[in-house]
Amino acid sequence: MRLSIFFRHPLTVVLTTLTLSLPLSAAEEKGKLPLEELRTFAEVYNQIREGYVEDIDDSTLLEYAIQGMLTGLDPHSMYLTKDAFQNLQTTTTGEFTGLGIEVGMEDGYVKIISPIDGSPASNAGLQSGDIILKLGTVSVKGMSLNAAIDIMRGPKGSKIELSIGRPGESQPFDVTLVRDTIKVASVRERWLEPGYGYIRIAQFQRRTGADVRKSLEKLMSEQKLKGLVLDLRNNPGGILRASVDVAGLFLDGGSVVYTEGRMESTDMHYDADALDAIAGVPLIVLINQGSASASEIVAGALQDRGRAVVMGTQSFGKGSVQTVMPLSESRAVKLTTALYFTPNGRSIQAEGIVPDVTIERAQVTAYENPQRISEADLSRHLDNANSTAKKKKKVDNDLLADDNQLYEALTLLKGLNILGMRDRTIEPVVEPSGES
C-alpha cells in the first residue's frame, strides 16, 4: 500500500512517499508508521503554512515540530540548537556566563534543580525546588526550556529580574540577579577538625574523578585521616563516567551502577577499580533535594555497598541517562536513552535516594544554661593545660549554627571512629580445640 503526502508550496511540491508492504511480519507490524496521524500532521503543517497570521518559512516550522516532539517526551530530552549545544559543552568544562542554576521543566514552568556554589543565584538565596514564574515581565508558562535558558544567559554584568514561587510560601517574590562568569570549582577540600576531612563536589565534570583523587592525596599528605565527609548537596549531576570514577575511589572493586534501555548499546555495567583510596576510613555522604543524577549514582552505590552512611534529605530522583547525538557541527539531540540502577537494582527515577539518617537543614543555636556551674567557675580553680578547649567549643558551635547537617555528619564520624578504635583494641579470643 502506498501513501503519498503532499506539502504544497507556491513554488514547489515536496512529495514524501511511504511504502508499506503486505502482509507484514511481527517486526514490521511493530514498526509500522501510523498513517492517520501522518495525514493529520501533514494537514496541520499545511494549515499553519497557509493560514497563520505571520509567514513562517519551512525550515523554521520543521524545527518547531522537532522541538515539540522532544519536549513531549520527558523534561530532559530536547533539541539543541547552536547556542544550546555550545552551552552544554561549556557547562561540562566548568565555565560559562549566566545566573548559575541547573533547571528543568515541571508543569510548564522552569524548576530550579540546584543553584551552583558561589553563583549569583546561590548568593541571592535561590533554592532547589523553587519555580521560576517570570523572566523579567515575560511569563515562563508555555515557554520551552531552551528559550528560558537563552533569556537567562547573557553578557556579564547585565541584570535580570526573576519572579519566584517557593513551595510552602503563599506569595511569589521577585529577585534581581546580575549575570556573571560562572566558574564551577568542581572539587574543593578542607579540614573540619584535625583528622576529619571534607570534600565538596559541586558538579560532575570530565576531570572530577581525578580532582577528588588529588584532594584526597592532599588531605592525607597533611595528617592522618580519621574520617571524611563527601558533600553532594545541591550537586545537579553531570557526566556519568565521572560519578563512576568518584564512587570507585571509595570502593574496593565491584559494581557501581548499571543502565538499561531499549537499544543494546545502552545496557552498560560500570565497576569500580580494586582500590579504596582511603583504606576503609569512615565515610559520610551528604545529600539533599538538590542532589541529582550523577550525585545519586555515587550516594546510591556507596549506600548499597555498605561503604558510607548517607545523611541529609531525600535526593531529587533523576534516574535517567541522556545521550547527546550530534546532528551537525552546531545542532544535536539530547535524548533520554536509559535508566540507571544502583548495585542492588534500585531505580532512582522519580524516587531518589532515601538517606540512612534524615537530617533536615535548620537554623540551630547552641543553648548554654547560664545557671550551670562547673569547676572552671569556682574561684582559685586550677587552669587546664589544654588551652584549646574553649576555642574548639566555639568552632563546634559556629559549625552547628552555620550548617547543622555538616555538624551532625562530623559528630557521627567521630562516633564511628571511636567505635572502630575500640574494635581494634579487643583481642580475639581463640579457644583451645577439644580432643576427641
Same domain, 166 and 233: no
> Comparing C-alpha atoms, which of 307, 290, 300, 394 is closest to residue 341?
300
pLDDT for 81 equals 83
DSSP single-letter state for residue 252? B
227 lies in a domain?
yes
Supply the pLDDT for residue 233: 95
Residue 6 has pLDDT above 50, yes or no: no
Q: Are residues 114 and 137 in the same domain?
A: yes
> Is position 390 within any domain?
no
**How many structural domains is the chain composed of?**
3
Q: What angle do CA 152, 153, 155 make, to 5 degrees?
A: 125
| Same domain, residue pair 237 and 330 | yes
Catalytic residues: 293, 304, 318
H or E stretch at 198: strand 196-201
Q: Are residues 335 and 194 in the same domain?
A: yes
* pLDDT of 15: 33
Assess whether 254 and 340 both reside in one domain: yes
- Which of 163, 183, 203 terminates a domain? The answer is 183
Residue 394 burial class via C-beta count within 10 angstroms: exposed 0-12, middle 13-18, buried 19 and up: exposed
With cut-offs at 50, 70 and 90, classify the pLDDT of residue 386.
Answer: low
Using CA atoms, how far apart are residues 354 and 67, in angstroms rounded to an integer?
A: 34
Quick check: 301 pLDDT over 80?
A: yes
One domain for residues 25 and 160: no
The answer to whether residues 167 and 111 touch, using CB atoms and an 8 Å cutoff, is no
Q: Is the pTM of this model over 0.75?
A: yes
pLDDT the model gives residue 55 = 95
137 and 26 housed in the same domain: no
Range of the domain at 157: 95-183
The answer on 298 and 200 residing in a single domain is yes
Residues 194 and 148 in one domain: no
Q: Answer yes or no: do 324 and 349 share one domain.
A: yes
Q: Could you tell me the three cell numbers for 286?
A: 551528604
End of a domain among 150, 183, 216? 183
- The CATH number given to whatever domain includes residue 251 is 3.90.226.10
Specify which of 61-65, 203-207, 303-307 reaches the highest per-range mean pLDDT: 303-307
- Decide which of 312 and 4 is more confident: 312
Helix 389-402 vs helix 404-425: crossing angle, to nearest 10: 130
**Does residue 156 fall inside a structural domain?**
yes
Residue 140 in any domain: the answer is yes
Q: What's the rounded Cα separation, in Å, for the pair 282 and 230?
A: 11
The answer to whether residue 428 sits within a structural domain is: no
Average pLDDT of the chain?
A: 85
Residue 108 backbone zone (phi > 0: left; psi -120 to 50: alpha; other: beta)? left
Q: Is it the case that residue 56 has pLDDT exceeding 60?
A: yes
Q: Residues 191, 179: one domain?
A: no
pLDDT of 335 > 70? The answer is: yes
Q: Is residue 291 part of a domain?
A: yes
Q: Do 260 and 118 sit in the same domain of this protein?
A: no
Whether residue 341 lies inside any domain: the answer is yes
Instruction: Band the pLDDT of 30: cuts 50, 70, 90.
Output: low
The pLDDT-based confidence of 428 (bands split at 50, 70, 90) is: low
Sort strands 187-193 and 196-201 into parallel, antiparallel or unpaired. antiparallel
* 264: helix, strand or coil: helix
3-state secondary structure of 425: helix
pLDDT value of position 410: 96
Are the CB atoms for 208 and 201 separated by under 8 Å? yes
Q: What is the DSSP string of 360-409?
A: ----------TT---GGGSTTPPPPS-TTHHHHHHHHHHHHHH-HHHHHH
How are beta strands 268-271 and 131-135 bridged, if at all? unpaired
Of 61-65, 104-108, 150-154, 201-205, the poorest mean pLDDT is in 104-108
Q: What is the CATH number of the domain that holds 172?
A: 2.30.42.10
Cell digits of residue 3: 501513501
What's the average model confidence in pLDDT over 369-382? 74
**Backbone φ, ψ for residue 380 (5° rounding):** 65, 25
Q: Examine the pLDDT at 46 and tell me if it is beyond 80.
A: yes
Q: Is residue 21, in this structure, part of any structural domain at all?
A: yes
The answer to whether the CB of 196 falls within 8 A of the CB of 414 is: yes
Residue 269 has pLDDT above 70, yes or no: yes
Of 358, 388, 405, at which residue does a domain stop?
Answer: 358
Determine the 3-state secondary structure of 238 from DSSP.
strand
Percent of the chain scoring above 90 in pLDDT: 59
Please, which residues have CB within 8 angstroms of residue 343's CB and are 6 or more apart in sequence?
254, 255, 256, 257, 258, 300, 301, 304, 305
Lowest mean pLDDT among 35-49, 140-154, 180-194, 376-390: 376-390
Q: What is the pLDDT of residues 244-255, one digit of tens each?
A: 999 999 999 999
